[in-house]
């Protein structure tokens, strides 16, 4: 075992999941359809036509999964609440759906629920989804309903998960639900998600929530070369991916978007919006997987001022993502330097890797590559802390192999192997190593 530097006293260790990826039971107890149910039902949208109708069946097997968390020694369990299970039409509360999260919160591991992890009720999408300003207000009402029910037992709340990805993949490029290809016309979906975050934060505070966070994905933008053009392209990508979703929350203003042909005030930003968005938060969630290499595009190939390029001569996961742990240190330190006193404590709310390792003849799953990945990234967190970043927790993505969005069941991120034919759970070697790491950190 590689030595892992000791993180500060009280550092939180755990894992993360999301509702649509693990729960299944999409037609049970009054749950309504989400945009992802519609997307997966559309031929050609998900690899091999997979759906999440059953997924990991966490809805029925949550006690087994929480027992795994206890065996792991996890301090916290980050899960998401399915909005269409709680409010099938995006408005009225469905009691049986909310009761499921009552049971989950009481199951025995400190809960860290995320209110929105991309599964918008289809009824709200039919009225415009996140392009419609009213969805932000519907989200606040949903947050209030959930907090009213669970707030006496939940201390840590996360409003949104990765609003950049939901805007970019779901509304701009069509690769995720709801499948729109609006390119830069998708920007209202960014603003309305952030407005929803601000309004939901106010609703959570009104219910007595002591700790509220927003989780963004973060990726250092690395110029393809040292040229001025590539450097400017990387700066533009950083503006769209990082600053667009961080500046309003921490600084109360959007970054300059002139490079995207958007000079002047954004027409969808109304008086009072930025004040709502800038409501104080108690932590900023950091989802990190890899840096992004950026270059200047060939003329006429894209309306964007950048295009993505591949890293060369680096190891990759089975998803093809480069394995660069130092990028996590860089991310945490850049946030610390760039936002200064406005930055709340940081939490690594997702970090993990896809490696498809099946059980040996003896049933053991020897996923050494995942062990190496996790050890290296925990060391990267420790390096950032040593250099001044205030990081309070680290959550592995993911507890279970699950439904990986448009990839279906082809990418395995779990510490626990799931046989999707039988739903049998088998902890991998990485599960045991992470459990040992947590125990070591507590000694």
Active site residues: 162, 350
**What does the alpha-carbon distance between residue 398 and residue 412 come to, in Å, rounded to a whole number?**
9
Q: CA dihedral in degrees (393, 139, 84, 184; nearest 10)?
A: -90
Among 293, 196, 205, 206, which Cα is nearest to 245's? 196
Helix (H) or strand (E) holding 202: helix 187-206
Burial class (CB in 10 A: 0-12, 13-18, 19+), 111: buried
Angle CA 255–261–263, to nearest 5: 55
* Structure-derived torsion over alpha carbons of residues 141, 142, 145, 147, reported in degrees to the nearest 10: -110
Q: How many CB atoms lie within 10 A of CB 282?
A: 16
The helix or strand, by DSSP H or E, that contains position 213, with its residue range, turns out to be strand 211-217
For residue 235, CA distances in Å to 133, 240, 294 come to 29, 9, 9
Spatial separation of the C-alpha atoms in residues 432 and 434, rounded to whole Å: 5
Q: How far is residue 221's CA from residue 292's CA, in Å, rounded to a whole number?
A: 5
Distance CA 352, CA 378 (A): 11
Cα–Cα dist 46/40, whole Å: 6
Tokens of 224: 């393809």
**Residues 226, 120: Cα–Cα separation, whole Å:** 41
- Closest-CA residue to 121 (of 152, 156, 161, 81): 81
């Amino acid at each position: 075992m590689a030595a892992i530097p000791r993180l500060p006293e009280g550092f939180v260790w755990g894992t993360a999941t999301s509702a649509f990826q693990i729960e299944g039971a999409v037609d049970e107890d009054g749950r309504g359809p989400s945009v992802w149910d519609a997307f997966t039902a559309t031929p050609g949208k998900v690899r091999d036509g997979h759906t999440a109708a059953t997924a990991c069946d966490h809805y029925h097997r949550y006690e087994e999964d929480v027992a795994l968390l206890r065996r792991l020694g996890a301090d916290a369990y980050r899960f998401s609440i399915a909005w269409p299970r709680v409010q099938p039409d995006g408005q009225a509360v469905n009691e049986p759906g909310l009761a499921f999260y009552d049971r989950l919160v009481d199951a025995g591991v400190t809960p860290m629920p995320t209110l929105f992890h991309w599964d918008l009720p289809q009824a709200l999408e039919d009225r415009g989804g996140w392009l419609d300003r009213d969805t932000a207000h519907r989200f606040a009402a949903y947050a209030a309903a959930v907090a009213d029910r669970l707030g006496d037992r939940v201390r840590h709340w996360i409003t949104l998960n990765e609003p950049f990805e939901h805007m970019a993949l779901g509304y701009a490029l069509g690769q995720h639900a709801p499948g729109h290809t609006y390119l830069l016309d998708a920007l209202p979906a960014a603003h309305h998600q952030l407005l929803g975050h601000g309004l939901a934060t106010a609703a959570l505070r009104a219910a007595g929530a002591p700790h509220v966070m927003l989780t963004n994905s973060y990726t250092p933008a690395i110029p393809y070369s040292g040229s001025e053009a590539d450097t400017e392209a990387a700066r533009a990508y950083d503006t769209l991916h990082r600053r667009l979703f961080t500046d309003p929350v921490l600084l109360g203003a959007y970054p300059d978007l002139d490079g995207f042909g958007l000079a002047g005030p954004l027409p969808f930003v109304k008086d009072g919006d930025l004040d709502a968005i800038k409501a104080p938060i108690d932590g900023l969630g950091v989802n990190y997987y890899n840096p992004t290499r950026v270059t200047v595009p060939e003329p006429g190939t894209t309306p964007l001022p950048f295009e993505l390029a591949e890293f060369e001569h680096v190891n990759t996961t089975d998803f093809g993502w480069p394995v660069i742990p130092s990028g996590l240190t860089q991310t945490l330190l850049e946030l610390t330097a760039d936002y200064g006193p406005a930055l709340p404590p940081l939490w690594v709310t997702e970090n993990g890797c896809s490696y498809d390792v099946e059980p040996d003849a003896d049933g053991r799953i020897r996923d050494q590559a995942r062990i190496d990945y996790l050890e290296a990234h925990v060391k990267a967190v420790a390096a950032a802390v040593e250099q001044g970043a205030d990081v309070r927790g680290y959550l592995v993505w993911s507890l279970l192999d699950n439904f990986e969005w448009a990839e279906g069941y082809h990418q395995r991120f779990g510490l626990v192997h799931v046989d999707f034919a039988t739903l049998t759970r088998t902890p991998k070697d990485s599960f045991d190593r992470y459990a040992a790491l947590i125990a070591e950190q507590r000694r």
